[in-house]
Chains A and B, each alone.
Chain A
Amino acid sequence: MIIMLSMLAVFYAIVIVILYVTQQTSRPSFNEYAVGGRSYGPWYVAMSYVNSWWPGSTFIAFFGLAAGAGVFGLYGLAYSTLGVTFMYLMATRAWRWGKKFNLRTQPDLLGMRYDSGAVKRIASVIGVVSLFPWVVLGMQALGELFEIASGGAWSVTACLVIGLAVIVVRQFWTVKMGMRGLIMTDLFQGMVAYVVSALVCVVLLSGVAGSPISLGDLSRVGDAILRLPGDGGAYGPWYIFSLIFTGVVGSLCWPTSFQRIYTASGVRAVKAGTVRTILISGGFYTLLMLVGIAGTRVPEVLADPQHGWFTLLNQFGGTWLLGLAVVIVFAASMGHIDGAVQVCGLQIANDIVNSGKRKLSDHQLTTIAKGSMVVFMALAGVVAYLTFSMDRLQLLAQISYQGIVQLGVPLFLGIFWRGGNKYGATAGMVAGFVVAGALTLVFPDDIRVLGSITGGIIGFAVNLLVFLAVSALTGQSEDERKRVAELFEAAKRRAPATRAGVTAATPQVA
């Protein structure tokens, strides 16, 4: 117990030292707090992006999926790579508008595109509500970590409270430093959570030094492990489609991911960061899933898949490697929770409380953001405690996707298409979210009579239809058409004059 807790303490101390050393002497403005002054390069963007993408529960819920159900776990690989690619395509215009119009959040962009405070507020509420389950999952992961690190000597309540306290202390620095604090520590946390864990997975799969698994185990796993839901069994053929579709569309919509676009120093940094994100994210997650699937050959892992990551490392290297497993999950959890809490506090202050009629000062925005974070964390802590023994944690994440995906219609169409209007966007989002929410309450996982399609897909279809129908019925005024045309004109690229021989070929590209 002492060894593992010490390892956690050392890691945590390094994070705090990084925060202390990189803090600015002057109080950050709200723009610094929100987007770090739009000054970060591709590696910072990439690692911050990955931190916001893979929470600590990846090593528990998603690993448990691979170690319990096998190839099913790889759906996460498909949606993450395809989704991040979509972000690459969307990022150019999103970053340019962000820079041009000083946008701080994703709802800011939607509000600007549709010239509507209502669109902005609804998008913000959907984002905050949908992020909530992920923070809950992250806190549960932290509680679980302290349960493991304490050797089961501490109660569930004590473990969750300690986990919450750790995050609160960490959040103090985030609030003090703004986005800069997140970005600086994400680099270190990401190295530990995703790069070190990928190396550990490589060693495990190599089968050396008494590893309990090897790459060869992948060819010897049971038949059921290689089958997807929908290939026989209770699920229909559209289950995997639904999960991946909502994942891809949802990945455009997560406020945490979107926020990273605005922290970048330019379009090059966004795009280079996205390519690096796919490399880190795809490599890490593939290796983790291969370890999980090979782990199905280990009886102790198969008996308790959600603890499989810890079981394997304990079997491989005893307390020290178990301690490393705990530190890795701790790093991923902290990075993700911190980012989610920060962006939720920011959105509540910037998009919901702040408005055209009630303009808040920098100081007021920061104060409201801080208060929102505290309330948000307290609520998440209560829910985390109440659902701590839920069998299928990953289901919570799936449910949240049904909600966040509803931002995809106005966001995607608004960025790539000049049509649509605020009435269509508002009605579509509300209709989609209500339908998705109602269906998810009745069918939390899938709708069997429709081939295992999920409520989010139905909601998305309703959202799209309502958006198009209401926009067509209400139309665009001449002023609105002109305003939108100016927006798209403002996002056009102007090649720099300094790169002779290159710019001549591409003087202006939309």
Chain B
Amino acid sequence: MKSYIRSLPSAAIETAFGIVYAVSLLMALFPPLYLAASGVRASVLGIPVAIAYWIADAALIGLALWAKYAIEDVRGELDEEFDATPDAPVAHPVGTSA
């Protein structure tokens, strides 16, 4: 499984995550979708759809982010060598000016 994850192209992972994120954003931002769930009393696991809709939206993106983190961990994309001196005196690469 780990070798399969490592062999996946970055673009495929980013696209999959992007689709899930777009769906979550649409659920939260597109009035026809959230208004369709508004006021619906039918229940999912004892919770009315009007409420479950928002929990599902949050759970969807939360799980997707957790999966993205786990995949990045397997692919070794979370650790790095960093070419920087801690608390370097140089604030900016070039001087700031208005």
Contact = CB atoms under 8 A, between A and B. Distances in A.
A494 B57 CA distance: 35
A93 B76 CA distance: 17
A503 B82 contact: no
B39 to A, nearest CB: 4
Nearest to B68: A88
A226 B40 contact: yes
B79 to A, nearest CB: 5
Contact of A227 (B47, B50, B96, B98): B50
A163 to B, nearest CB: 32
A75 B78 CA distance: 31
Contacts of A505: 6-7, 75-76
Interface stretch (A112-120, A412-420, A468-476): A112-120
Contacts of B92: 101, 111-112, 115
Nearest to A510: B10
Nearest to B73: A268
Contacts of A245: 29
A139 interface: no
B74 to A, nearest CB: 8
Contact of B51 (A115, A218, A238, A494): A218
Nearest to B50: A226
Interface string A465-490: 00000000000000000010011001
Given A85-B21, A496-B81, A502-B75, A275 B54 contact: no
B72 to A, nearest CB: 7
Contacts of B46: 215-216, 218-219
Contact of A497 (B81, B83, B88): B81
B58 A286 contact: yes
Contacts of B27: 78
Interface centre among A108, A215, A219 (most CB of B within 10 A): A219
A219 B41 contact: yes
A101 B31 CA distance: 42
A99 B83 CA distance: 9
B38 A266 contact: no
Interface string A116-129: 11101000000000
Contacts of B58: 77-78, 81, 282, 286
B80 A493 contact: yes
A495 to B, nearest CB: 6
Interface in B51-84: 51, 54-55, 57-59, 61-62, 65-66, 68-69, 72, 75-84
A226 B38 contact: yes
A502 B6 contact: yes
A27 interface: no
Given A216-B46, A244-B29, A483-B94, A506 B77 contact: yes
B42 to A, nearest CB: 10
Contacts of B16: none
A496 B62 contact: no
A476 B89 CA distance: 28
Contacts of A503: 76
Interface string A188-219: 00000000000000000000000000011011
B90 A78 contact: no
A241 interface: yes
Interface string B19-46: 0010011011111001100111101001
B8 to A, nearest CB: 10
Contacts of A275: 65-66, 69
A223 B96 contact: no
A231 B97 contact: no
A442 interface: no
Nearest to A35: B87
Given A112-B92, A275-B66, A499 B50 contact: no
A325 interface: no
A278 B21 CA distance: 14
Nearest to A244: B28
Contacts of B97: 115-117, 356
B86 A38 contact: yes
Nearest to B67: A275
Given A82-B24, A227-B39, A506 B95 contact: no
Contacts of A495: 76-77, 79-81
Interface in A24-38: 29, 31, 37-38
A29 B98 CA distance: 28
B72 A111 contact: no
Nearest to A245: B29
Contact of A271 (B24, B47, B78, B95): B78
Given A77-B58, A102-B87, A118 B29 contact: no
A81 B38 contact: no
B81 to A, nearest CB: 5
Given A226-B48, A483-B94, A494 B83 contact: yes
Given A71-B50, A101-B93, A237-B31, 11 more contacts: A75-B54, A215-B47, A226-B40, A227-B50, A228-B50, A268-B79, A271-B78, A275-B69, A290-B51, A493-B77, A497-B81
18 contacts: A71-B50, A74-B51, A77-B57, A78-B57, A85-B61, A101-B91, A102-B87, A102-B89, A112-B91, A112-B92, A219-B46, A226-B39, A226-B40, A237-B31, A486-B93, A487-B93, A495-B77, A496-B81
User: Which 8 A-B pairs give the minimum distances between C-beta atoms?
Assistant: A502-B76, A74-B54, A268-B78, A231-B38, A226-B50, A118-B98, A237-B31, A78-B28
